[in-house]
Amino acid sequence: MRKQIVAGNWKMNNDYVDSELLISKLLEHHHHSTTDVIVAPPFTNILAVTNSLKGSSIAVAAQNMHYAESGAFTGEVSASMLTSVGVHTVILGHSERRAYFNETDALLAKKVDTALAHDMRVIFCFGEELADRKAGNENEVVASQIKNALFHLPASAWSQIVLAYEPVWAIGTGETATPDQAQDMHAFIRKTLADQYSSALADEVSILYGGSVKSANAKEIFSKPDVDGGLIGGAALDAEHFSAIVNSF
């Protein structure tokens, strides 16, 4: 059975004090559930958040990492730095990394390999831009992003991969894919995996939806059969909203 997952991507929000406050509120609202809950704070707060969440079932993810093991890469963070502070999940390929930091599928393939070599779970993000959808090319774009960054992996690696479909036009815009648009794309993604690997493998991979998920629309989006949870941006900065989203399954 694939897992239901709700992950909060804090992006470049919350200083140390804000982040401790948010975590303490989240812990007040958090009740044991079958849904995996993940938060992804900025690097400066990642150790403090990991310590504050010790003993809880909420996991911590990094928002990015470098592919190299170590070395002269000013400003970057490696996989072993993350695992050394108890962080075993990393978000890779977010559209903001692709757009503002020129991350390509080829670079992401290297990052994925490094994360897996360190036994980390990868939340791999991808999604089409508005122009692609308007031109009817969304399936083609999404298939090529997945293929270029992930299809070199052996089937055994996929137990560590979570996919996050985030249509760029729905991120931070208040514009959400309709539940049917999300379902159609998630079914397409699962078929793409089934064609390349097997339907047994495709059935086991969690596919999250991201893009303006709020407590008001989460239930309907999560009710779709191929939507296994969400990657939440803005609404993850508010404990009540985020917890309501977690409880939307």
Phi, psi angles (nearest 5°) of residue 100: -95, -15
Provide the minimum distance between the beta carbon of 89 and ligand 13P in the complex, in angstroms, as a whole number: 13
Provide the minimum distance between the beta carbon of 166 and ligand 13P in the complex, in angstroms, as a whole number: 5
In the residue annotation, 94 being an active-site residue is answered as yes
In the residue annotation, 166 being an active-site residue is answered as yes
**List 94, 128, 138, 186, catalytic entry:** 94
Provide the minimum distance between the beta carbon of 177 and ligand 13P in the complex, in angstroms, as a whole number: 11
Q: Which residue, 211 or 229, has its beta carbon nearer to ligand 13P? A: 211
* Structural contact between residues 202 and 186, judged by C-beta atoms closer than 8 angstroms: no
Q: Which amino acid is at 247?
A: N
Which pair of structure tokens corresponds to residue 59? 């996991």
Q: Which residue, 149 or 231, has its beta carbon nearer to ligand 13P? A: 231
Q: Which residue, 67 or 169, has its beta carbon nearer to ligand 13P? A: 169
Q: List the alpha helices (DSSP H) in the chain.
A: 16-29, 46-52, 79-84, 95-100, 105-117, 130-134, 138-150, 179-196, 199-204, 215-222, 239-246
Provide the minimum distance between the beta carbon of 239 and ligand 13P in the complex, in angstroms, as a whole number: 15
**List 103, 128, 138, 166, catalytic entry:** 166
The closest alpha carbon to 157, from 110, 195, 120, belongs to 120
* Structural contact between residues 36 and 88, judged by C-beta atoms closer than 8 angstroms: no
Q: Which residue, 99 or 117, has its beta carbon nearer to ligand 13P? A: 99
* Structural contact between residues 40 and 230, judged by C-beta atoms closer than 8 angstroms: no
Residues that bind ligand 13P (CB under 6 A): 9, 94, 166, 171-172, 210-213, 231-235
Residue nearest to ligand 13P (CB): 233
Catalytic residues, by residue number, are: 94, 166
